[in-house]
Amino acid sequence: MSTASPKGLFISFEGIDGAGKSSHIAGLAQAFRDQGRVVTLTREPGGTPLAEKLRALMLHDAMDPLTEALIAFAARRDHLVQVIEPALARGEVVISDRFTDATFAYQGAGRGFDWNQLSVLERMAQTGTALQADLVSSFMREPDMTLWFDLPAEVAAVRLATARVPDRFEAQPGEFFARVAQGYAQRAEAAPQRFVRVDANTCREAVWEQIAQAVVAKGWLSSAAESKA
Ligand SMILES: Nc1ncnc2c1ncn2[C@@H]1O[C@H](COP(=O)(O)OP(=O)(O)O)[C@@H](O)[C@H]1O
Ligand SMILES: Cc1cn([C@H]2C[C@H](O)[C@@H](COP(=O)(O)OP(=O)(O)O)O2)c(=O)[nH]c1=O
């Protein structure tokens, strides 16, 4: 029997607040575990003790868009170094509730922070973190797949109205989320090989089918996962 560990996989979930991500993240993790993979389930901002402190600041304290973006990337750097890269080096599946696309969508498109400057910060924060010897030092870590839950802002607002007490982002008006949704669309258009658009404006079962299909099509899960809605 081969003892070689499988290749690490990095999958992010993205979309505006209320798009329905949380309802499926645990399901995808379980599908991988059912097929013998070790899964690290994590989130941004957060995922380490330091990054969780930064998350609390971001979600509850008023600040300008540059401060918000710098905190998001500081938290991300710590998360990459402490959690994501070690897990990938061990051959695990890392599933993160949000990653850098959220910074482009929320701080970029939502708050109006300069997209090119975000790209500079992205490169700084996500380069030089990889532990694998075969990755050159200029390698920038990005997810292998981003499942983008696409949902009109007005539908998400209806879902959130009864779901939970809003944080600093969820309390934003509808126009903010329309801009954030547009930001995600722009990121998806720029990286079609990484992004999978999930039509989130449908029932949970149909959303799961789209997720399972995408992961099965990559050969990362066997088709048994597709019937687990
Ligand atoms: N496909 C769906 N159809 C209708 N409501 C949904 C669907 N998926 C999730 N919801 C509900 O919408 C709300 C937001 O879902 P959640 O998974 O917390 O979104 P997110 O994690 O993307 O912010 C919750 O009340 C959840 O039960
Ligand atoms: C990762 C990230 C999240 N965010 C925002 C998006 C969300 O409104 C919030 C936290 O995300 P999330 O964990 O989806 O919130 P919840 O626990 O309420 O489901 O942080 C940014 O503004 N920039 C970022 O870089």
Q: What is the ipTM of this complex?
A: 0.96
Question: Which ligand 1 atom sits closest to the C-alpha of 15?
Answer: 22
Q: What angle do CA 38, 43, 46 make, to 5 degrees?
A: 125
Write the pLDDT tens digit of every residue in 18-77.
999 998 999 999 999 999 999 999 999 999 999 999 999 999 999 999 999 999 999 999
DSSP string of 21-43, one letter each residue: -HHHHHHHHHHHHHTT--EEEEE
Atom 14 (ligand 2) nearest CA: 17
| pLDDT of 3 higher than 80 | no
In whole angstroms, what separates CA 65 from the centre of its chain?
A: 20
Closest atom of ligand 1 relative to the 163 alpha carbon: 25
Residue 4: pLDDT over 70: no
Residue owning tokens 């600040």: 63
Q: Say how far apart CA 60 and CA 82 lie, in whole Å.
A: 24
pTM value > 0.90: yes
Nearest CA to 142 among 119, 171, 162, 160? Answer: 119
Q: Is the CB of 96 under 6 A from ligand 2?
A: no
Q: What is the DSSP letter of 162?
A: T
Edge-first strand order for the sheet with 39-43 is 39-43, 93-97, 9-15, 145-150, 195-199
